Amino acid sequence: MARSTGKNPIPKRPTRDEFELEELGNQLIEAMNEEAEVSLQVWGENELVVGRITFLDSRTKLVHLEGSGALRKVPFLDIMVVNYV
pLDDT tens for residues 26-80? 999 999 999 999 999 999 999 999 999 999 999 999 999 999 889 999 999 999 9
Indicate the pTM of the whole model.
0.83
Integer angstrom CA distances of residue 12 from 7, 24, 44, 51, 56: 12, 19, 10, 26, 24
Identify the structural domains of the chain with CATH numbers, from first to last. 18-84 (2.30.30.100)
**What's the one-letter identity of residue 73?**
K
Asked whether the predicted pLDDT for residue 2 surpasses 70, the reply is no
Please report the sign of the dihedral spanned by the C-alpha atoms of residue 13, residue 19, residue 25, residue 26.
negative
pLDDT tens for residues 24-35? 999 999 999 999
C-beta of residue 79 within 8 angstroms of C-beta of residue 41? yes
Locate the DSSP E strands across 1-85: 37-42, 49-57, 62-67, 70-75, 79-84
